[in-house]
């Protein structure tokens, strides 16, 4: 398959690895604020200079686009509040993971984790397929594996702990091509009262089986 990439061992010592978050909370908040400013700015200019008269359709236009602008602004505030959530730090007991591997996943929080009411960690294997239709493309995703690693409302367990994770022998390793991809990630969910919840994503690499390489 052309332009396909399939990760193999890097040659580095197989030692514990701190998994980096796949998404930046700060970057997400900045992107939403920029989008909100652009959207509401454009809609404001339209209302100011387009001379929208009375009637059902002008009123409908104003209401719909105005509500969308408010929703975008609220979501930008939501993303900004998420920046101040406790940050999970995930540590994998080994750098090289294969189908059939068993490894230890440890977690600890940076920040006030005592305000987290409940927490869950989920391992996901995701298949993405890109279809081309003329000049347009669309991508569909489906979870080929979803495994709950832990779920707890006990404060001490939430603050730090570890769990053993076993990957099925027959599962798919990480793979990416122009039309198809198999990716792996760990999701951390945390419920916080009267505040945006924790929803962080951490990507991991599952190497090709040793017998193949």
Q: State the Cα–Cα distance between residues 41 and 49, nearest whole angstrom.
A: 12
> How much is the average pLDDT of 14-27?
91
Contacts of 162 (CB under 8 A, 6+ apart): 104, 105, 106, 107
Q: Would you say residue 210 has pLDDT above 90?
A: no
Model's pTM, two decimal places?
A: 0.85
Please tell me the predicted confidence (pLDDT) of residue 55.
63
Which residue spans within the chain are E strands per DSSP? Answer: 17-19, 87-92, 102-110, 116-133, 136-152, 160-166, 175-176, 180-192, 198-204
Residue range 112-122: mean pLDDT, rounded: 95
pLDDT at 50 over 90: no
Q: Please state, rounded to an integer, the average pLDDT across all residues of the chain.
A: 89
Please give the helix or strand (H or E) that residue 135 lies within, else none. none
pLDDT for the residue numbered 7: 81
Q: Which residue, 165, 91, 179, is CA-closest to 124?
A: 165
Pick the CATH number of 17-22+86-204 from 1.20.120.1750, 2.40.50.140, 3.30.2130.10, 2.60.40.640: 2.60.40.640
Ordered by start, the domain boundaries in the chain are 17-22+86-204, 28-82
Asked if the model's pLDDT at residue 105 lies above 90, the reply is yes
């Amino acid at each position: 398959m052309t332009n396909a990439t399939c990760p193999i061992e890097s040659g580095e010592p197989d030692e514990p690895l701190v998994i980096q978050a796949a998404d930046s909370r700060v970057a997400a908040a900045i992107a939403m604020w920029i989008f909100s400013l652009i959207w509401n700015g454009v809609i404001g200019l339209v209302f100011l200079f387009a001379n929208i008269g009375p009637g059902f359709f002008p009123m409908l236009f104003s209401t719909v686009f105005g509500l969308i602008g408010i929703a975008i602004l609220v979501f930008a505030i939501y993303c900004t509040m998420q920046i101040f959530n406790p940050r999970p730090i995930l540590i994998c007991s080994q750098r090289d993971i294969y189908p059939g591997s068993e490894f230890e996943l440890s977690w600890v929080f940076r920040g006030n984790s005592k305000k987290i009411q409940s927490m869950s960690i989920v391992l996901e294997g995701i298949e993405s397929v890109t279809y081309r239709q003329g000049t347009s493309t669309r991508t569909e995703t489906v979870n080929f594996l979803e495994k709950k690693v832990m779920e707890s409302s006990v404060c001490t367990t939430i603050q730090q702990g570890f769990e053993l994770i076993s990957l099925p022998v027959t599962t798919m390793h990480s793979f990416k091509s122009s039309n198809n991809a198999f990716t792996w990630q760990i999701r951390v969910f945390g419920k916080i009262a009267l505040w945006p919840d924790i929803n962080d994503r951490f990507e991991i690499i599952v190497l090709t089986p040793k017998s193949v390489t």
